Structure 1
């Protein structure tokens, strides 16, 4: 039986002034879509959010959806603290995950 994998991720723009939280079942493809401005009218295209700074993996889609909703409700400071836990320098992680 195939194991499903779902991702909750945080993107930012080059200057790290904007944060975007998303969820997907294919992180690499989704990062490529953000980078190519797949939807030119989207928030990520408008604010040039294409740099991955945080991601988490889940086996069950309902867990990933719940986590995405949880993080979206947080204040910016708490989101920044989450990023700094595993990525204190806010390195762009796109290449590390293959995006």
Structure 2
């Protein structure tokens, strides 16, 4: 059986000649609180970043997690999310 080669389809950053490109990664956490899940998401993002992977952390604005990402120097993109259906009520 021939070996299957997987080629990343995500955007990647240039690397040294002869080295494989590293795909750009994102970690998404849309929680407004700061607990175990949120801290582990941010710790994972920082761990990946420290190993040289291009990474963006995506979170909600004005949250403890967004402030902590800034303190830890993790690149952060803030995302405003509308919640609910916002549909007119049926008569």
> TM-score, structure 2 length as denominator?
0.24
> TM-score, structure 1 length as denominator?
0.23
Larger RCO, structures 1/2 (Cα 8 Å, 6+ apart): 1
- Give the helix-richer structure, 1 or 2: 1
